[in-house]
Chains A and B, each alone.
Chain A
């Protein structure tokens, strides 16, 4: 079955530091890949996505590239801010058509704390 392995946290960085959160996956076929962010007491917000190999998703300074050869989708940001403090989840879905493949499989989440 599908699975997502995510870098364990917590991660603590100083403001303006470089961020990498590693994510690798196991899936049959060609999944779509996502990063979601969860702020305290809130639901998940879609941060960025990629639907095919070599696609780069980007949003709010965050980037991740769909690497089929390494089955990875690492999240990066060049300069983090205090407001980026949150839990980040890597996720995949099996496809857009098949009913049973549409569910999201999540990694365990990485808590990021950015200090001023």
Chain B
């Protein structure tokens, strides 16, 4: 049973470029979460999505950041016009349907390490 997949694992962008981070949830999971880990800090929640729907985006910066989870394909976290402060590790997690056994457990991918030069 494949785990949560993220790609690319490492991404380098110049200031002003766009970054696209992809996440494929664990098989059978329909809920995806994105977290950001800044250097020397813990993980901070960004957004929670289910297929074709954003459930909670209270942790997303108001500008330049967007996320989607289409009916087909992976979830995408998009950062437009990147700045040096966006350099961080971005982790995706997935979980089962609410109300099902173990649905409160989130399983994490290996992360995408974004470096903005």
Query: Which residues on A sit within 8 Å (CB–CB) of B105?
Result: 34, 46, 49
Interface centre among B43, B59, B93 (most CB of A within 10 A): B43
Residues of A within 8 Å of B, CB-based: how many?
25
Distance in angstroms between the alpha carbons of A60 and B91 in the assembled complex: 24
Partner of A108, one of B41, B48, B56, B110: B41
Interface check A68, CB cutoff 8 A: no
B48–A96 contact, CB under 8 A? no
Interface check B69, CB cutoff 8 A: no
Given the interface contacts A51-B104, A102-B98, does A109 sit within 8 Å of B110 by beta carbon?
no
Q: Which residues of A contact B (CB under 8 A)?
A: 32, 34, 36, 42-46, 49, 51, 89, 93, 95-97, 99-100, 102-109
Excluding A43-B111, A102-B48, 8 further A-B contacts by CB distance (< 8 Å) are A34-B105, A43-B108, A46-B108, A96-B104, A100-B58, A102-B33, A105-B45, A106-B44
